[in-house]
Structure 1
Amino acid sequence: MESKESLRQRMRSLLFAGSDCSQAHSFELLARLRSLSELGSSEILVGFLAITPEPDLRPYLVEWLRSGRKLLLPRFVSSQRQYELASVTDLARDLVPGHYGILEPHPLLPKDISCGTDNLPSRAWLVPGLAFSASGARLGRGKGYYDRLLGHSQDLIIGVCWDCQLISGIPVLAHDVAVHFVVTESRTIDCRQTAITE
């Protein structure tokens, strides 16, 4: 089986080499997110703001906020070298360039402390990755940020990627957090039907 680092290098080359992975397919991908009933029934969404070449979810995040539901986004805490979540209500007003130049919630917005707390409204996560498998394995960028954020979460976790990022043979370690669904521009995969055995 190919190592995680080798897979990361291969996927980065694919994504930045002008492959079929393209924002031109964003409309189809966002339509699939809108039609996912498990996501639509959630009251809180943990989203992400894309970096090239990740799918741009901003139109969906704006719709989520307009529906009156809560949106949380990751914010890097330099002193701890990890991410925390903060609630935003306006993408145009509440975001500033942060770690790696990625837009994130303004430092003055309060940290969300509900992660890991029981008896909360239903929450769903949209997570990026370099690659996903149909069985729910996720290949991140190698820093473990999302694995730590998700921890032992019982929340719904949805991987968002392009078709070209669906692969098999992703090595899975004990700390890796699986996704329940993978949504691409042409597919919605329910990973709960398949145990991760890659």
Structure 2
Amino acid sequence: MKRLLLAIEPTTRLHKSWELLQQLQSSEAYRSSQSLCIYLSLPDEPYTGTIIESALASGRRVFVPRLLPSDVAHEKFPLTRHLGHMRMHAIHSLGSWNEWPLNKFGIREPPISHSVVDLDDALSYILLFTTYVIPFCWVSLAYIRSFFAPPLLDVDMLILPGLAFTKDGKRLGRGGGYYDRYLAGMRAIFTERARPRMPFLLALAFKEQVLPELPTCPHDFIVDKVLYS
């Protein structure tokens, strides 16, 4: 599959990516969204830069993933037991993203300081007090919520990368397990907080990535919608 994707001509890849942008923008899930998590694409993936710029221009909140740095002791982070080793960080511009550092997979990530590396902007209002403050403070959650604004940072849509998909939403990742762990933690947190639903899970794919069937494991998440071109 990787060789097949790399064989797609750059101009064809850009054309397909533009078609995917049009499909996304015409979908009801996207039109009704106010915020989304989305990855920064690899060269063999549908290009997501235009989607991110369009979402920011429309006033949507946009969050992109970042892996915990390898030189940081992961086990010391309270959120690791919830979300694994990936966090979502808010961005407001893609102006200098070509200068952002590369992670171990060659993916650009927004630069941040180690002092905030364990915060997750997409979930911060849910987790900030339950993880850091409540265990050490007698102040009630209702009081804290009444004191801090704005209300709960919510994520309407999460766009996942993948190596292959089926039309009914099965997904083959690239072997790291970061998204499955992150989504499992998100689901557990939302269940504890009695949140009614998870974000809408969406995938972008070239038609070459869409297969008749894929093997799945019990912990795999099914994507709500696969857009392909």
Q: TM-score, normalised by structure 2?
A: 0.68
Q: Pick the structure with greater CA Rg.
A: 2
Per-residue deviation, 1:23: 2.7
Give the RMSD, CA atoms, in angstroms: 2.5
Structure 2 distance, partners of 1:72, 1:90, is 11
SS at match of 2:109: strand
- Structure whose residues are more often helix by fraction: 2
Partner of 1:82: 85
1:104 aligns with 2:94: no
Q: Which moved more, 1:80-89 or 1:69-78?
A: 80-89
Partner of 2:144: none
Per-residue deviation, 1:93: 4.0
Show CA shifts across 1:34-84 (max 9, x none): 101111211111011100210111111111111222100001112338221
Count, aligned residues = 175
Q: TM-score, normalised by structure 1?
A: 0.78
Matches within 5 A, 1:149-160: 149-151=182-184, 152-153=186-187, 154-160=198-204
Matches within 5 A, 1:15-164: 15-18=5-8, 22-77=13-68, 78=70, 79=72, 80=74, 82-93=85-96, 96-99=100-103, 100-108=105-113, 110=116, 111-115=119-123, 117=126, 120-151=153-184, 152-153=186-187, 154-164=198-208
User: Any stretches of 5+ residues in structure 1 without a counterpart?
Assistant: 1-10, 186-198
User: Any stretches of 5+ residues in structure 2 without a counterpart?
Assistant: 75-83, 128-151, 188-197
Alpha-carbon spacing, 1:19–1:167, altered in 2? closer, same or farther (3 Å): farther
Structure 2 distance, partners of 1:130, 1:180, is 17
Letter in 2 for 1:132: F
8 A Cα contact 1:76 1:98, kept in partner? no
- Structure whose residues are more often strand by fraction: 1
8 A Cα contact 2:100 2:111, kept in partner? yes
The percentage of counterpart residues that share the same residue type is: 31
Q: Which moved more, 1:146-155 or 1:174-183?
A: 146-155
